[in-house]
């Protein structure tokens, strides 16, 4: 049995988004790793996940985060070098103050997204 697959570089999958793009650099049945590039002034959907759990780390740039739990909505800023954990069902949105790169590690349910608001016409869908 060959073990050649253990000695190969992994594929990086680029997914265009209306707010920028994401690079999926790891995808297994246990976890997913991505880099999200969010263009200045753009934002992701106001959303939550039923099962997916994720942690964000700002590699470069600055994000304005909207977080809502049980009707309590707050805004906070995430700067370069800061991390934020998003458990299932926590409503959240990321907006880039400047061009921003965010490392995201998550559980593998990448299509588990409930969009509540979306400036790109994707509210109510789980479309990329």
Residue 18 lies in a domain: yes
Total number of domains constituting the chain? 1
Residue 8 lies in a domain: no
Residue 29 lies in a domain: yes
For the purposes of burial, counting CB atoms within 10 Å of the CB of 88, is it exposed (0-12), middle (13-18) or buried (19 or more)? middle
Host domain of residue 21: 14-117
Residue 98 lies in a domain: yes
Per-residue pLDDT tens over the stretch 3-58: 887 888 889 999 999 999 999 999 999 999 999 999 999 999 999 999 999 999 99
Higher pLDDT, 57 or 124: 57
Residue 1 lies in a domain: no
CATH number of the CATH domain containing 39: 2.60.120.10
Three-state secondary structure string covering the chain: CCCHHHHCCCCCEEEEECCEEEEEEEECCCCEEEEEEECCCCECCEEECCCCCEEEEEEECEEEEEEEECCEEEEEEEECCCEEEECCCCEEEEEECCCEEEEEEECCCCCCCEEEECCCCCCCCCCC
Residue 47 lies in a domain: yes
Per-residue pLDDT tens over the stretch 65-116: 999 999 999 999 999 999 999 999 999 999 999 999 999 999 999 999 999 9
Residue 3 lies in a domain: no
pLDDT at 128 over 80: no
Residue 123 lies in a domain: no
């Amino acid at each position: 049995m060959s073990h050649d697959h253990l000695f190969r570089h992994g594929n990086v999958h680029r997914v265009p988004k209306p707010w920028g793009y994401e690079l999926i650099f790891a995808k297994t049945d246990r976890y997913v790793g991505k880099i999200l590039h969010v263009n200045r002034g753009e934002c992701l959907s106001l959303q939550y996940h039923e099962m997916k759990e994720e942690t964000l780390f700002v590699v470069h740039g600055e994000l304005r985060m909207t977080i809502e739990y049980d009707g309590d909505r707050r805004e906070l800023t995430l700067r370069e070098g800061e991390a934020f954990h998003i458990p299932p069902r926590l409503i959240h949105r990321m907006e880039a103050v400047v061009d921003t790169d965010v490392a995201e590690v998550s559980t593998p349910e990448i299509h588990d997204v409930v969009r509540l608001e979306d400036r790109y016409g994707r509210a109510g869908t789980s479309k990329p």
